[in-house]
Each structure stands twice: as structure tokens, then as C-alpha cells.
Amino acid sequence: MGSDSFREKTGGLLEKIKGTREEEIIQQMERLYAEIEAKQSVWYEKSGFTCPEGCGHCCRNFEPDLLDSEARYMAAWLLENQADFAEEAAQGRFPFPENKGCPFWKEDGKYHCAIYGGRPFICRFFGAYGAKSKSGEEVFKPCKFYPTEILASHKPPLAHKQYNAEELKLIFGVLPPVSTDIMEKALSLNPDNKSTRMLREILPETLNHLKWICSMAELEKN
């Protein structure tokens, strides 16, 4: 999977809103997402532990709730990369409204996600993240949907149990990114990150707000 960076694209949304608070938040989010991607690349490369191809059960009946900053990044990514979806979602119309879970989940495709580059933290962590135990130790547990037979065929065999840092170093030689560390940084980015709201609720208004910022920035230039 390549980088999700806006900079690969040429639409220039960030250029359009340069110098605004929105631009700063989106850039900060991009850095945190890049940090996860970089740490997961090391984890995947050294551990060889990846999700089974085409799985995607984790978000089949799951709708993420978003921090304000996650919604802003998702809105910006949509406007930049999926303009049609962005216009529809701004009106509260989603590509797969019949889904019980996320309205961007799709049956086909490698990742089952119609908004992959704009997805929030939880979706980036799925399958390859660690947490902190009560004692502050880094721990990892294979996803509950991970097929037991594939875990058992690992050398050494694995199970649906929690592995501590020492075991992880012995088995994989590396630790996955710790979600709590990254989320602490995310929470400090923006005072509006105190709570979360469901994707279907927060995304339309965030899209409309960002569209308004873009039109204001356009007016100022003219």
C-alpha cells in the first residue's frame, strides 16, 4: 500500500487553504497517519504478520466514531480525491447507506473501503497495533477475527491471546505501533478533539464547513 499523502495529488486543496487553522490540523493529522504507516511498515517487514488477503471483517458491521481532526482529514481527503462522494456525503448521502456499519464499506476490493486514504485512526490500527497494559507494558493481541488455523500454522504457533513485549520481541523481533501513544498526540492537536461523533453525523457538516473555508479562501485571493 502506498502513501496516503495529499502531496501525491495535484488538486491542491491544502494549497487553497494555506495559512488557515484547517490546513494546520490536516497537516498534523497527515504526520500522525504517516507515523503509523512507517511503524506498521517496520512491523510488517520484520514480523511477517499481516492480515489475510481480502479479509476486512473488522469493519463489516462497524461504523467508526470520529474526533474532530479525523473528520477534517477525511473531509479534506474526500474533497481532494473523491469529489463526487464528497458532494453527496455533504448532503448526508453515502455510497453504501444500506450498510449496518460504515457507509463506506464495500463488498469488493482488497481493503473493502471506499475512503481508504481518508480513513480514521481505528481503521489504520486494525490488525497491526499494540496497546499498554495496566502496568504500562506494551502488549499485542491478534485480532479476534484472525483465522485460528493461520495463527496455529505460524512458527512458533500463535493463539488468540495477549502477548507481552518480551514475548513479542522473541517471536517477531519487533513491536507494533502503540495506539495509545499516538492517540495521546492526536487528542492534544485540537481542543475540539475532546469527544467523538459517529461518521454519518459528523462528516456532512465537516465537509460543508471545509467547502465554506475553501470558498472564503478563494474569495480572498480574488
Residue 121 or 217: which CB sits closer to ligand SF4? 121
Q: How far is the CB of 17 from ligand SF4 (least distance, A)?
A: 23
State yes or no: residue 67 binds ligand SF4 (CB under 6 A): no
Residue 130 or 217: which CB sits closer to ligand SF4? 130
Q: How far is the CB of 117 from ligand SF4 (least distance, A)?
A: 10
Among residues 115, 124, 113, 92, the alpha carbon closest in space to that of 200 is found at 92
Site string for ligand SF4, 112-131 (x = CB under 6 A): -x-x---x---x--xx----
Residue 25 or 66: which CB sits closer to ligand SF4? 66
State yes or no: residue 146 binds ligand SF4 (CB under 6 A): yes
Burial, 193: exposed, middle or buried (Cβ in 10 Å; 0-12, 13-18, 19+)? middle
Q: What is the CA radius of gyration of the chain?
A: 19
Beta bridge partners of 164: 139
Distance CA 146, CA 93 (A): 32
Phi, psi of 147 (to 5 degrees): -60, 130
Binding test (CB under 6 A) with ligand SF4, winner from 13, 55, 90, 213 = 55
How would you classify the pairing of strands 197-198 and 65-66? Answer: antiparallel
> Where along the sequence are the contacts to ligand SF4 (CB under 6 A)?
51-52, 55-59, 62, 64, 102, 104-105, 113, 115, 119, 123, 126-127, 143, 145-146
